[in-house]
Amino acid sequence: MTPAAAVDAWLAELAEQRRLSPHTVANYRRDLAKLLALNGDDRLDRLDVHRVRRFVAQMHGGGLSGRSLARLLSAWRGFFAWLGGRGLIQANPCEGLRAPKSPKRLPKALSVDEAARLLEPDSDEDPRLEARDAAMFELIYSSGLRLAELIGLDRDAFDSMLHEGEVRVLGKRAKARLVPVGRQARLALARWSQWRDELAQPGEPALFVGPRGRRISARMVQLRLARRAVRLGLPGHVHPHMLRHSFASHVLQSSGDLRAVQEMLGHASIASTQVYTHLDFQHLASVYDKAHPRAKR
């Protein structure tokens, strides 16, 4: 089996048996393409830990961050484990290798006031597109949805969201979860329900559709949100995941219930959710700096 064929076979197994998302599989493919490019025409069973370490050092010297290298090594390690399970290599050359550490970056979140500004109605926009955009952005902020979860929703989700105030989404590794939908999001969805069938092509199942009446793309959602933020004068680049971060940070600030936030975000590990406690502390520290007389210069 050629290296390229082995990569295709492993990725097909990840997609079909482990049901990883197309986005994750595409990331793995890019990571493995780097491995094959670095290894050249040499056989994979000749790779050893020293050579892989040299590859990592080379990419780190080229500016690749420790976080990116850790993800890349994880993909390589899984691929070599798969090869070893089929007797195609003797040992995993990535076993025990660790990427260089990078400074931990906190996710960026909007303030409560900025989120409110972002979700204000835009009277200059086409009313159909405004209704759709408002429903999408309110839903992400209300329920902490990932972008893939949002665009994966079908029209039949209207009933549970509008009447029961909840929605079932399919998250990473095809794991389903039920999340609440807030009042403002339900109002926005009710407005969108009046326009959706007019814009959608006949037989299109998607809840949110693009200009051609088919399921809206992730890129279109990103562009629409970024454009809205620029028009409103919000600082920095605003993207859909920032609304998810804002949801988590604001719910945690109000409730202090880390477990509940973990469940709503669909995090497998509480460690992934704990990063929002740092955002919460940053918010408290900012209030302290502005309010405490000894904190002022």
How confident is the model over 40-94, as pLDDT tens digits?
A: 888 888 888 999 999 988 898 888 888 888 999 999 999 999 999 988 898 899 9
**Catalytic residue status for 276:** yes
Burial class for 180, CB neighbours closer than 10 Å (0-12, 13-18, 19+): middle
Cα 93 from Cα 6, distance rounded (Å): 16
| Catalytic residue of the set 224, 244, 245, 250 | 244
The pLDDT score that the predictor gives to residue 278 is 62
CATH of region 112-289: 1.10.443.10
Q: Where in the chain is the domain with CATH 1.10.150.130?
A: 3-85
| Catalytic residue of the set 186, 224, 250, 276 | 276
Angle at 140 between CA 263 and CA 152, to 5 degrees: 90
**Catalytic residue status for 141:** no
**Catalytic residue status for 101:** no
**Catalytic residue status for 163:** no
Q: Where in the chain is the domain with CATH 1.10.443.10?
A: 112-289
| Catalytic residue of the set 241, 259, 278, 297 | 241
The pLDDT score that the predictor gives to residue 295 is 56
Q: Would you say the pTM of this structure is higher than 0.75?
A: no
**Catalytic residue status for 168:** no
Angle at 234 between CA 232 and CA 239, to 5 degrees: 105
| Catalytic residue of the set 172, 177, 239, 283 | 172
The pLDDT score that the predictor gives to residue 282 is 53
Low-confidence ranges of the chain (pLDDT < 50): 284, 288, 297
The pLDDT score that the predictor gives to residue 197 is 93
Q: Does domain 3-85 have CATH number 1.10.760.10?
A: no
The pLDDT score that the predictor gives to residue 145 is 93
Cα 194 from Cα 143, distance rounded (Å): 22
The pLDDT score that the predictor gives to residue 106 is 64
| Catalytic residue of the set 146, 196, 224, 250 | 146
The pLDDT score that the predictor gives to residue 288 is 47
**Catalytic residue status for 241:** yes
The pLDDT score that the predictor gives to residue 122 is 78
